[in-house]
Amino acid sequence: GQNIDQPTEMTATEGAIVQINCTYQTSGFNGLFWYQQHAGEAPTFLSYNVLDGLEEKGRFSSFLSRSKGYSYLLLKELQMKDSASYLCAVRALTTGTASKLTFGTGTRLQVTL
Amino acid sequence: DAGVTQSPTHLIKTRGQHVTLRCSPISGHKSVSWYQQVLGQGPQFIFQYYEKEERGRGNFPDRFSARQFPNYSSELNVNALLLGDSALYLCASSLQGNEQYFGPGTRLTVT
């Protein structure tokens, strides 16, 4: 089976930096994804890590350590519009090209003035 | 380019009824996955279809079924609806299971 843990809620100030952690246990690991989801909307893709290290994309960066089963999403220069839930998801290979994403419960980030 | 589309947007059904939800993937994407998202939780995997064949199934009862058509669109069917089936149903498409792009979802309410 798979188990994914991330904090339920976080609060940060506009302009600051926030780090959202995610730990996972899985077999057949084949990548870790971060999605942003605003209330009432579908998740939108933010980042993908399959190898250890840091992936940077503008204000957002994501880090992966496969040996530790650990990832984090780093958001810089926070803006009010960044207030959303951030979902960590692990992809595991099943058979052939089949794969499925297992999501954590999400971290609700509140950005304040 | 059009993203993933789903219909209907909202749906209200009564316990015991059945429902069919529809999804059209991004053009060129052959893989479609279905997820159920209950309020306050992350999406839960239901099915994956690739090239019209079921490639994966989550821990959902047999009341849930799906299929994929030759044009790669997909339907999710749920029979004998229960109150607990009330959720946002998300469809995601991808190229061979890589990064998945989600549609806007269908919000199902069972009364």
Q: How many CB atoms lie within 10 A of CB B76?
A: 24
Verify whether the Cβ–Cβ distance A105 to B40 is below 8 Å.
Answer: yes
Q: What are the structure tokens assigned to B56, written together? A: 């994966």
Q: Which of A10-14, A91-95, A102-106, B78-82 has the lowest mean pLDDT?
A: A91-95
For residue B97, pLDDT beyond 60: no
Residue numbers in B near A33 (CB within 8 A): 99-100
Chain A contact for B96, CB < 8 A? Answer: yes
Q: What are the structure tokens assigned to B5, written together? A: 């589309």
- Mean pLDDT over residues A4-28, rounded? 95
- Write out pLDDT tens, residues A31-46: 999 999 999 888 999 9
Chain B contact for A34, CB < 8 A? Answer: no
Q: Burial-class residue B16 by CB neighbours within 10 Å (0-12, 13-18, 19+).
A: exposed
Query: In sequence order, which residues have a C-beta less than 8 Å from that of residue B9 and are 6 or more positions away?
Result: B104, B106, B107
Q: Which of residues 79-108 of A touch B (CB under 8 A)?
A: 87, 89, 91, 94-106
Residue whose C-alpha is closest to residue A102's, from B87, B45, B36: B45
Residue numbers in A near B100 (CB within 8 A): 33, 45, 101
- Write out pLDDT tens, residues A79-93: 999 999 999 999 887
Query: In sequence order, which residues have a C-beta less than 8 Å from that of residue B61 and are 6 or more positions away?
Result: none
How close is the nearest chain A Cα to the Cα of B105, in Å? Answer: 6
Verify whether the Cβ–Cβ distance A96 to B55 is below 8 Å.
Answer: yes
Residue numbers in A near B105 (CB within 8 A): 42
How close is the nearest chain B Cα to the Cα of A51, in Å? Answer: 14
Averaged confidence pLDDT in chain B: 93
Chain A contact for B102, CB < 8 A? Answer: yes
State the Cα–Cα distance between residues A71 and A52, nearest whole angstrom.
9
